[in-house]
Amino acid sequence: MAGSTENEPIRIKLSGRVDSNNAAAMEEQIRSQLPAGQPVPVIIDAADLEYISSAGLRIFLRLKKQYPDMTITGVSSEIYEILDMTGFTEIMKVEKAYRVVSVEGCEEIGRGSNGTIYRIDQDNVVKVYNNRDALEEIKHEREVAKLALILGIPTAISYDVVMVGDHYGSVFELLNARSFSKILAAEPEKMDWCVSEYVEMLRKIHSTLVPKGKLPDMKKTAENWAGFMQDHLDPESGAKLVKMVQDVPHDDHMIHGDYHTKNLELQDGEVLLIDMDTLAVGHPVFELASMFNAFQGFYEIDHDAILKFQNFDYKTGTEFWNRSLAAYLETDDEDRIREVEDKARIIGYTRLIRRSIRRSGMDTEKGRQEIALWKSELMELLGKYDSLLF
């Protein structure tokens, strides 16, 4: 037993197996290290615990009643599964032990606002989260990915949480999978096939009705973006932008939120959608805005930057965007295509400007150039349209 003061936890280490044969002796040993009648914080170190039966679980219940501030740490995946299935993770704080994974030298197959995805071997990828305290984000992404799968969207489900340096990561099984970005870069003759599959998946997403309250509302997020822009536009333009977003009707159909060619994977002939943490509901204009940014908006000043993000050049990105938009709208009417693109650009530029300003874009020459260009384009579009609907 470690030394303890009133505010300092007592640490108790468990090892081996705890079952009906030794549970009574184990409980006696644990209690001998705890002050009777004094509800001190208790940490049970289960890093070396190999097995626990129902007799051992009852020890935890009795201890929790006497020592409410009790945490079980270093829990293996196998023990954690037992504690989770039996409801103990809801009763007390349980901290899982995470295996360590290195991504040094690994291929980067995707990058988004919340993390980066690496291929760690032939069968598996890991998404490394930017936030060092990402366990809630990981839980959210698992939940929404399961929801998407139940609703008929083919996706990969994380089966393990790991540590990558001092960041958390989610591991997914993607056997010999290739992203659409990789296919387009290596086999440009497959552009038609990629556009067709990409749009088919997009339509599937947008036709999926989500049970109310299960996913965030993208309109509310866009309203925050527009509200931010009021401080960076003249009063009339700022008010108009906010009203245009507010006038978009609520829509309970699914949108991905970060739909680009690195987030579609081809695995054994099946197309899978990945990177599900941005899943939301909303009008398609919000989806098309993020798509425009992914293929054009981000790179309007520096065309070469798309190579690092998408692995293909700006010309390919522009062609893919234009052809995908036309196929999604099922028209070759250029005026119709450009109208919808313009409305998507209004939201796209709003998001890009806000993102750059919040990331100190005004402190660099390139950042100032980008913000000036995007703001100029946004102002022109606000003068041209009164609605984001199409």
Stronger pLDDT, 36 or 227, i.e. the higher one: 227
| Residues in contact with 186: Cβ distance below 8 Å, sequence separation at least 6, in sequence order | none
Looking at the predicted structure, is the pLDDT value of residue 57 above 90? yes
Tell me the pLDDT band of 333, cut-offs 50, 70 and 90: very high
Shortest CA distance to 284 belongs to which of 197, 188, 381, 218?
A: 218
Q: What value does the mean pLDDT of the chain take?
A: 94
111: enclosing H helix or E strand: strand 107-111
Position 110 scores a pLDDT of: 79
Average pLDDT over residues 80-109: 92
> What is the model's pLDDT at position 269?
93
1 has a pLDDT exceeding 50: no
Region 224-246: mean pLDDT is 97
Do 10-96 and 107-173 come out as alike in CATH topology?
A: no
CA 286 to chain centre: 17
Q: How confident is the model at residue 4 (pLDDT cuts 50, 70, 90)?
A: very low
- Percent of the chain whose pLDDT exceeds 70: 98
Task: Show me where the domains of the chain are located.
Answer: 10-96, 107-173, 178-384
pLDDT in the model for residue 77: 85
Residue 348 exposed, middle or buried by CB count within 10 Å (0-12, 13-18, 19+): buried
pTM confidence score:
0.79
| Residue 73 pLDDT greater than 50, yes or no | yes
pLDDT at 146 over 60: yes
Residue 114 has pLDDT above 50, yes or no: yes
CATH of domain 178-384: 3.90.1200.10
Per-residue pLDDT at 277 exceeds 60: yes
310: three-class secondary structure by DSSP: helix
pLDDT above 80 for 248: yes
User: How many whole angstroms separate alpha carbon 362 and alpha carbon 87?
Assistant: 50
Q: What is the average per-residue pLDDT within 134-160?
A: 93
Which pLDDT does position 353 carry in this prediction? 98
Q: Are 379 and 233 spatial neighbours (Cβ–Cβ below 8 Å)?
A: yes
Q: In CATH, what class is 107-173?
A: alpha beta
pLDDT recorded at residue 3: 44
Residue 7, pLDDT score: 66
Under 8 Å CB-to-CB from 138, ≥6 apart: which residues? Answer: 129, 158, 161, 168, 170
How does residue 109 score in pLDDT terms, banded at 50, 70 and 90? confident
Question: Of the segments 35-44, 59-68, 318-327, which one has the largest average pLDDT value?
Answer: 318-327
Phi, psi of 26 (to 5 degrees): -65, -40
114 compared with 127, residue with greater pLDDT: 127
77 φ, ψ (degrees, to nearest 5): -60, -40
Architecture of domain 10-96: 2-Layer Sandwich (3.30)
